[in-house]
Amino acid sequence: GESVGLHLPTLSVQEGDNSIINCAYSNSASDYFIWYKQESGKGPQFIIDIRSNMDKRQGQRVTVLLNKTVKHLSLQIAATQPGDSAVYFCAENIADSWGKLQFGAGTQVVVTP
């Protein structure tokens, strides 16, 4: 079946640098995407979302980019901080579904001093 996936399982970033986390999706019917952050021992925490009628959305220090042509989603974190160390998941919602989300396996981001 179609699924959400991530390119890199682990991303090491130096403190202060920008981070880019990638996500590929294969379901062209997906129309809503969410990025979650999960710190060790905690539940996933909402970061930012984007709908399929948008290419870019910005939050506080985070930007999500959506390229529907190649079915690619990315999360950019500006000026990465030690508190950004976590696993980051992307999730997709398929159009006309009742709200069900399909999750990728996640990318571990490690921030080094």
Partner 1 sequence: NAGVTQTPKFRVLKTGQSMTLLCAQDMNHEYMYWYRQDPGMGLRLIHYSVGEGTTAKGEVPDGYNVSRLKKQNFLLGLESAAPSQTSVYFCASSPGLQFQETQYFGPGTRLLVL
Q: List interacting residues with partner 1 (CB under 8 A).
A: 4, 31-32, 34, 36, 41-46, 49, 51, 89, 93, 95-106
Q: Which of 90, 2, 75, 78 is nearest to 38 (CA)?
A: 90
Residues 6+ apart with CB under 8 A from 42: none
**Greatest extent of the chain over all pairs of C-alpha atoms, in Å:** 45
Shortest Å, Cβ 14 to partner 1: 26
Shortest Å, Cβ 72 to partner 1: 17
Give the nearer residue to partner 1 in terms of CB position, either 6 or 111: 6
Give the nearer residue to partner 1 in terms of CB position, either 13 or 91: 91
